[in-house]
Homo-oligomer: A and B are copies of this chain.
Amino acid sequence: MKKQLYILQDILGTNRKIAQEIKAACEEKGVLVVNLMSSPGAGKTTLLEKLAERLKNRYKIAVIEGDIETERDAERIRAKGVPAWQITTGGACHLEAKMIARVLPSVEADIDFLFIENVGNLVCPASYELGERVRVVLLSSPEGDDKPKKYPKAFTTADVLVLSKADLLPLLPFDIDRAKKEALDLNPSLRIFVVSALTGEGLDSFIEFLVAAHAALRPADA
């Protein structure tokens, strides 16, 4: 067991080093890197489609999609007129910084936002920094309000919680106050947005937050 543990620490240490290089290089260029994590089907790609629609006329954005198999999510983003790169991990349950580092040279340098959609998994991606300035975890209403404490690391390491599929809330036994409280108990500095990508509820506030985070990257230019 000890041998495995050392190797894991080594992988995480190497990953963090590459992530920090990505972060520094992107922020120096004024690129806000956003890492989106969630269970499969919590609505990451649909949220990105909506962000693409609303941001693309004012900002240059790009998307990196992580999936175990298929190019489907990148195709959905490209259909919105936004460049997207698909990483297929071929079985691996999370993205790693080195995968991002391999794609980055293909991404134009003068973008404002780089969104990275992680593999759908509420557990493993939380252990791997990808160079993001903003880490977002999505929890969709059909998943249930009891998930933060059952899957704590995604919530303790995130900067933002998006409670997604808010349009389904009236139909489901989801106590939004309980979900918020559990998440804030784990991470009191979490920013929480209640969002429905379908109806548009909450999107404006989330976009305002992202735009402000982008602007804060280079206060000297303001």
Contact = CB atoms under 8 A, between A and B. Distances in A.
Contacts of A70: 146, 149-150
Interface in A21-67: 39-41, 67
A123 interface: yes
A151 B40 contact: yes
The complex is assembled from copies of this chain, and their number is 2
A220 to B, nearest CB: 40
A144 B72 CA distance: 13
Given A7-B4, A7-B7, A152 B39 contact: no
A165 interface: yes
A91 interface: yes
Nearest to A143: B41
A68 B39 CA distance: 14
Contact of A93 (B69, B121, B140): B121
A93 B93 contact: yes
A26 B146 CA distance: 33
A69 B68 CA distance: 26
A147 interface: yes
A116 interface: no
B151 A120 contact: yes
A35 B128 CA distance: 28
A44 B151 CA distance: 15
Given A41-B140, A72-B146, 17 more contacts: A4-B7, A4-B11, A39-B120, A39-B143, A40-B122, A41-B144, A68-B151, A69-B150, A93-B93, A93-B123, A93-B124, A120-B147, A120-B151, A121-B122, A121-B124, A142-B168, A168-B168
11 contacts: A3-B7, A7-B7, A39-B39, A39-B41, A40-B144, A40-B151, A41-B144, A70-B149, A142-B143, A142-B168, A171-B171
